[in-house]
């Protein structure tokens, strides 16, 4: 509640600051309130329209906004603005305008605390126990207040920018990153990178048995024998950290916050995999089984180089049943296949980067009782395991592996000379996971599958999620990639670009 109180204080100060230069009339209070009321109205409408929260950097998008609205709407907006500012000018008290002490003081205070010395605002948030919920910005806004949220986001971005600047990352340096480069003489084949929420192999738990193998027979006899392993940056949560690694090719070091995606403004990150593919002539498209406000994915995907983004927000090809919490992988795959088929027909000579982020395996692991009844029982040392969440998750894996198997078969038939990668973002949160004996002795280690030109491939060694983009570059360039060793420098340069 501390931040709601702070929101009231800031709003009051802004209102009084505007009022301080107006005539002592009743209408002055109305005119002073209009910008604040408009801000809250705009904040709500922006979220409803774009399905994400505005940032100060979105001011740069105003010309684009005007380009997509009708001439009448542009005309109406201009008329309303002219009328308001005409009334505002008429209401200004010339004598008070000569001594705008309160107005200047309030704006100087905001500029200093957010722009000049952003650590001041960040420290204030921390002292008031502000809860920044990295996985759901909607809850963050509700707990903090609209204005506080925008000011905190801007302060965090400016603080990060200043810290990065200390590392001498000039604009020239940040635009010259020898990373994930594609050989022009290589082959521009289609790439399908499929990332799945909490996708794992239940058979990797020692001492755990099942009434039925949780790996569907169709999957078990196709790509399952070609299982590879990769270490994710997180366990049980933090999907955007895995996405960051899979799309940039560098570790998610979390040096300035627990989620790098939250710092993205939509500015171009040249070093990312999608942008490198885009520069090589690829059409880059992202499909996410959630809404764009989660994890700031809209701005992150835009900055990383996706030309098109698809979410479950009613404006893209992606749809889910209202009664389902999240879209089932099979439904997501069916829609993605139809979409990719249409893209291949519309752009027959353009290579495609098809990035899919499926969210079906998310806690609480709900099952559609009609379509996907729970039938697999879990046992530990011969006794039925009393862990309903784990049991639901295991049953999900059965249906998910069936869906993946069908998807791979149909995708190969549709696009045989391409690369397909199926990988999980992290292990799900499983109570007492160590007691269940996870065989890999590392709760961040996950299986992943690679299909090259219609053939599943067993790779040598173990990987990390940030090395997956290098596998893609190797496939395209037809030669081994020498991995960069100074990942921290590249990481800093990427964030420097992301927040501009």
Highest mean pLDDT among 31-45, 131-145, 153-167, 193-207: 193-207
- Please check whether residue 321 lies inside any domain of the structure: yes
Q: Are residues 335 and 395 in the same domain?
A: yes
Q: What percent of the chain has pLDDT over 90?
A: 49
Q: Is residue 364 part of a domain?
A: yes
Same-domain pairing of 202 and 273:
yes
**In this structure, is residue 173 part of a structural domain?**
no
CB within 8 A of 342, min separation 6: which ones? none
Residue 38 lies in a domain: yes
Contact at 8 Å (CB) between 421 and 227? Answer: no
Cβ neighbours of residue 492 under 8 Å, at least 6 residues apart? Answer: 164, 167, 169, 255
CB neighbours (10 Å) of residue 309?
Answer: 18
206 shares a domain with 73: no
As a whole number, mean pLDDT of residues 461-472 equals 95
Dihedral over Cα of 330, 333, 339, 344: its sign: negative
pTM (global) more than 0.75? yes
Are residue 287 and residue 220 in the same domain, yes or no?
Answer: yes
The angle formed by the CA atoms of residues 241, 125 and 303, to the nearest 5 degrees, is 35
**Together in a domain, 415 and 322:** yes
The C-alpha atoms of residue 297 and residue 261 are separated, in whole angstroms, by 7
Q: Are residues 157 and 13 in the same domain?
A: yes
| Span 279-313, pLDDT tens digits | 999 999 999 998 887 888 999 999 999 999 999 98
pLDDT band at 186 (very low <50, low <70, confident <90, very high): confident
- The answer to whether residues 9 and 118 belong to one domain is yes
- The last residue of a domain, from among 151, 166, 181: 166
For residue 271, the SS3 value is: coil
177 assigned to some structural domain: no
Average pLDDT over every residue of 484-490: 77
Asked whether residue 430 falls in the same domain as residue 324, the answer is yes
Q: What is the mean pLDDT of residues 57-69?
A: 58
CATH number of domain containing 368:
3.40.720.10
307 and 217 share one domain: yes
For residue 482, name the pLDDT band (cuts at 50, 70, 90): low
Peptide bond into 298 cis (omega under 30): no
- Assess contact for 362 and 326: CB atoms under 8 A: yes
Residue 437 placed within a domain: yes
Please answer whether residues 278 and 305 qualify as being in contact, where contact means their C-beta atoms are separated by less than 8 angstroms: yes
What per-residue confidence (pLDDT) applies to 402?
98
Sign of the CA dihedral with 256 first, then 258, 263, and 268 last:
positive
Q: Is the pLDDT assigned to residue 423 strictly greater than 90?
A: yes
Residue 253 has pLDDT above 90, yes or no: no
Q: Is residue 336 part of a domain?
A: yes
Domain count, the chain: 2
Cβ atoms 195, 358 nearer than 8 A = yes
Read off the pLDDT of each residue in 14-23 and give the average, rounded to a whole number.
Answer: 89
pLDDT digit string, tens, across residues 27-55: 999 999 999 898 888 888 777 655 567 77
Residue bearing tokens 């948030």: 125
Q: Same domain, yes or no, for 331 and 436?
A: yes
Q: What is the extent of the structural domain holding 94?
A: 2-166
- 162 and 203 share one domain: no
Cα–Cα distance list, 198 to 100, 134, 401 (Å): 57, 18, 13
Is 273 inside a domain boundary?
Answer: yes
Residue 60 has pLDDT above 70, yes or no: no
Q: What is the mean pLDDT of residues 342-364?
A: 94
Residues 284 and 327 in one domain: yes
Check if the beta carbon of residue 500 is closer than 8 Å to that of residue 162.
no
Give the E-state strand segments of 303-434 in sequence order. Answer: 308-310, 352-358, 378-380, 383-384, 419-424
What stretch of H or E contains 16?
A: helix 2-19
- pLDDT of 486 strictly over 90: no
CA distance 362 to 365: 6
Averaged confidence pLDDT in the chain: 87
Tell me the two tokens of residue 190. 């289609």
């Amino acid at each position: 509640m501390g931040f709601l109180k702070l929101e009231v204080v800031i709003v009051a100060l802004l209102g009084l600051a505007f009022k301080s230069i107006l005539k002592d009339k009743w209408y002055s209070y109305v005119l002073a309130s209009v910008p604040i009321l408009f801000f809250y109205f705009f904040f709500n409408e922006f979220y409803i329209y774009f399905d994400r929260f505005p940032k100060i950097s979105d001011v740069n998008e105003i010309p684009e906004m005007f380009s997509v609205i009708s001439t009448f709407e542009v005309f109406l907006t201009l008329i309303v603005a002219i009328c308001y500012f005409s009334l505002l000018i008429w209401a200004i008290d010339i004598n008070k305008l000569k001594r705008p002490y309160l107005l200047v003081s309030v704006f100087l205070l905001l500029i200093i605390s957010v722009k000049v010395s952003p650590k001041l605002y960040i420290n204030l948030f921390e002292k008031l126990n502000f809860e920044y919920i990295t996985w759901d910005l909607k809850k963050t806004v509700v707990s903090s207040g609209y204005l506080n949220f925008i000011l905190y986001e801007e302060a965090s971005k400016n603080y990060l920018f200043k810290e990065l600047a200390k590392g001498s990352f000039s604009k020239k340096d940040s635009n010259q990153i020898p990373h994930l480069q594609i050989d022009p003489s290589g082959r521009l084949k289609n790439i399908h990178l499929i990332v799945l929420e909490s996708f794992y192999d239940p058979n990797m738990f020692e001492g755990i048995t099942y009434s039925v193998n949780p790996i569907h027979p169709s999957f078990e006899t196709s790509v399952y024998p070609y299982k590879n392993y990769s270490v994710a940056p997180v366990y049980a949560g933090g999907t955007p950290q895995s996405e960051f690694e899979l799309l940039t090719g560098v570790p998610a070091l979390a040096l300035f916050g627990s989620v790098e995606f939250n710092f993205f403004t939509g500015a171009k990150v040249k070093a990312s995999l999608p942008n490198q593919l885009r520069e090589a002539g690829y059409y880059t498209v992202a499909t996410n089984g959630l809404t764009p406000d989660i994890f700031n994915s809209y701005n992150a995907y835009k900055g990383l180089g996706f030309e098109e983004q698809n979410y479950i927000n009613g404006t893209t090809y992606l749809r889910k049943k209202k009664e389902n919490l999240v879209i089932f992988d099979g439904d997501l795959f069916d829609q993605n296949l139809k979409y990719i088929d249409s893209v291949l027909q519309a752009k027959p000579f353009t290579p495609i980067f098809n990035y899919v982020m499926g969210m079906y395996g998310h806690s609480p692991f709900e099952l559609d009782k009609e379509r996907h009844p729970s039938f697999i029982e879990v046992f530990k040392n011969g006794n039925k395991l009393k862990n309903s969440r784990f049991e639901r998750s295991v049953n999900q894996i059965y249906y998910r592996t069936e869906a993946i198997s069908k998807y791979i078969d149909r995708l190969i038939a549709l696009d045989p000379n391409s690369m397909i990668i199926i990988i999980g973002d992290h292990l799900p949160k499983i109570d007492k996971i160590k007691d269940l004996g996870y065989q890999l002795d590392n709760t961040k280690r996950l299986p992943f599958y690679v299909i090259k030109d219609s053939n599943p491939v067993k790779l040598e060694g173990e990987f990390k999620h940030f090395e997956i983009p290098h596998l893609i570059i190797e496939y395209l360039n037809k030669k081994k990639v020498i991995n960069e060793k100074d990942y921290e420098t590249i990481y800093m340069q990427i964030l420097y670009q992301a927040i501009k």
